[in-house]
Amino acid sequence: MRLNKSNPAPSLTKAEGLRLLHQMTLIRRFEEKSAEVYTETKIRGFLHLCVGEEAVAVGVSQALQEEDYVLSTYREHGHALARGVEPKSIMAEMYGRLEGCSRGRGGSMHLFDSSKNFFGGNAIVGGHLPLSVGMALASKKQGKKNVTCCFFGEGAAAEGEFHESLNLAALWQIPVLFLCENNLYAMGTALKFTHSEQHLEKKGPAYGIETDVANGMDLLDVMTKVQKAVAYIRETGKPYFLVCYTYRFRAHSMFDAELYREKSEVEEWKKKDPIPQFKAFLLKEKLITEKVIEAMEAEAERQVQEAIDFAENGSWEKVEELDRFVYSEKAAI
């Protein structure tokens, strides 16, 4: 992993530091609770958790504005929460309730909230990269000044859509941020077995795209690198490729036996946990106290429990409505 540490870390106020720590803590608690209720079969289907990767979701979101577009993978709960999608709406969706952000039809892998310009939650690996290119091209043609941010994993970087998307983005000079969350194992195969060139940041320059790397376990480094990337896109209208080296502490999904990596490796990565690291930074800089941390953690727990209660008290879609949305409607939702 080669990380450029030449950029200074962003300065933080007490309020900003607390807000960022709360966002990461909320995502962690939300994911942990999701795993718990999944084992109780209250959430069905697939469930992919981002425990360990919270610094990327939160760090990237700080540089984005309301009018920017965000597209994500099926491991998107953290991205949606960091984008401002309500925890209650997300949990209700995973419960399959009508009150969910996708009316209970998408579940864990298809979160969607147009009011936040959050356009999925896409289950096909790499399938949303071409969508991000199309959305960024549309923004350019419409004269908009927004950025399209596309989250994807290193597994998607081995797909044809990745290369096609970077090629077209470079040819058309469109305002898209390709954000690779490199957690080293994709679905369950080590990077060295899927990429002949393991330094994925070398792939951007091959298409003439400005590229950088960030330590995805360090919130401040992610914030610094993303602010630089987004500033470049807004100024030039050109694409940017940023690789965040990170690590998921849990298995790929709830069905994953996780036989492809040693438990000792996971434990070593847990020592780099972005939440304790950022907490220690705030304490060292006297931007926060243990008492404030306790209150913040209690608030995150309350929000997650509120989301659970909302989902469990939600309603099911009426049987006569089940064939709705099979074809497009002008005012579908």
- Supply the angle between the helices 14-39 and 274-284 in degrees, to the nearest 10: 150
User: pLDDT band for position 9 (50/70/90)?
Assistant: low
If one counts every other C-beta atom within 10 angstroms of the C-beta of residue 187, the result is: 13
Distance CA 94, CA 33 (A): 12
Note the pLDDT of residue 11. Answer: 80
Distance CA 85, CA 115 (A): 9
Distance CA 80, CA 233 (A): 22
Per-domain boundaries in the chain: 45-272
Note the pLDDT of residue 331. Answer: 55
Tokens linked to 294: 């306790």
Question: Mean pLDDT in the chain?
Answer: 93
Note the pLDDT of residue 175. Answer: 98
What 8-state DSSP symbol labels residue 11?
A: P
User: pLDDT band for position 6 (50/70/90)?
Assistant: very low
Supply the pTM of this predicted model: 0.92
According to CATH, what is the number of the domain 45-272? 3.40.50.970
Q: Decide if pLDDT at 81 tops 80.
A: yes
Which region among 1-5, 6-10, 279-283 has the lowest average model confidence (pLDDT)? 1-5
Q: Outline where DSSP puts E strands in the chain.
A: 69-72, 118-121, 148-153, 176-182, 210-215, 240-245
Q: Decide if pLDDT at 301 tops 50.
A: yes
Q: Is 109 exposed, middle or buried (0-12, 13-18, 19+ CB in 10 A)?
A: buried
Q: Decide if pLDDT at 1 tops 50.
A: no
- How confident is the model over 118-161, as pLDDT tens digits? 998 899 999 999 999 999 999 999 999 999 999 999 999 999 99
State the chain's maximal CA–CA distance in angstroms. Answer: 60
If one counts every other C-beta atom within 10 angstroms of the C-beta of residue 18, the result is: 18
Q: Decide if pLDDT at 255 tops 50.
A: yes
Note the pLDDT of residue 3. Answer: 39
Distance CA 153, CA 139 (A): 24
